[in-house]
Amino acid sequence: MVKMTALYRRPPEVDAFMEHYETVHLSLVRSFPGLLKLEISRMFVWDEKPADPFLQVDMYFASREQLLAALKSPPGRASGRDAQEFAGEYIQIFFADVDVETFGGEVHGDGGLVRGE
C-alpha cells in the first residue's frame, strides 16, 4: 500500500480556504481512480494557538502504479491544477510506502502487520 499526503499550512483566510477545499477540491480527489481510503485530519494543539500546519490529507492506493495512474487521470490532473490555484503556497505533497498494523478488540497488540509493496 502507498499513500500521498497533502500537508497544508494555515492560510490567512481559513474559512474561505475550507469552503473551496470542501466544495470543489474534495470532489476531484474523491473521484481518483483506485483510491482506497481518504483520511482528512484537522490538526489541533493543546494550547490556545491555532495549529500550523492545520490540515493533513492522506490518500491511499494499492500500489505506486495505481497512485501514478490516479495522478495522470483527468480528475488527478484537475486536482493538481486546482491545488496550485487555491493552495499553491500553502501545500506540500509527500509520497510514502505504508506498513499497516491493525489491532482488534480491546487488547492492544491483538492484530497483524500488513507490509506495503
Distance between CA 117 and CA 98 in Å, rounded?
8
For the entire predicted model, the pTM comes to 0.84
Q: What per-residue confidence (pLDDT) applies to 106?
A: 57
The C-alpha cell that represents 25 in the structure block? 477540491
Q: Output the CATH code of domain 2-99.
A: 3.30.70.100
Indicate the burial class of 61 (C-beta count within 10 angstroms; 0-12, 13-18, 19 or more).
buried
- Asked if 84 and 6 touch (Cβ cutoff 8 Å), the reply is no
Q: Shortest CA distance to 102 belongs to which of 49, 28, 37, 20?
A: 37
Which residues is 92 bridged to in the sheet? 7
Q: What per-residue confidence (pLDDT) applies to 115?
A: 46
Give kind and range of the element (H or E) at residue 101.
strand 100-103
Distance between CA 46 and CA 71 in Å, rounded?
36
pLDDT tops 80 at residue 112: no
The tens digit of pLDDT for each residue in 48-89 reads: 888 999 999 999 999 999 999 999 999 999 999 999 999 999
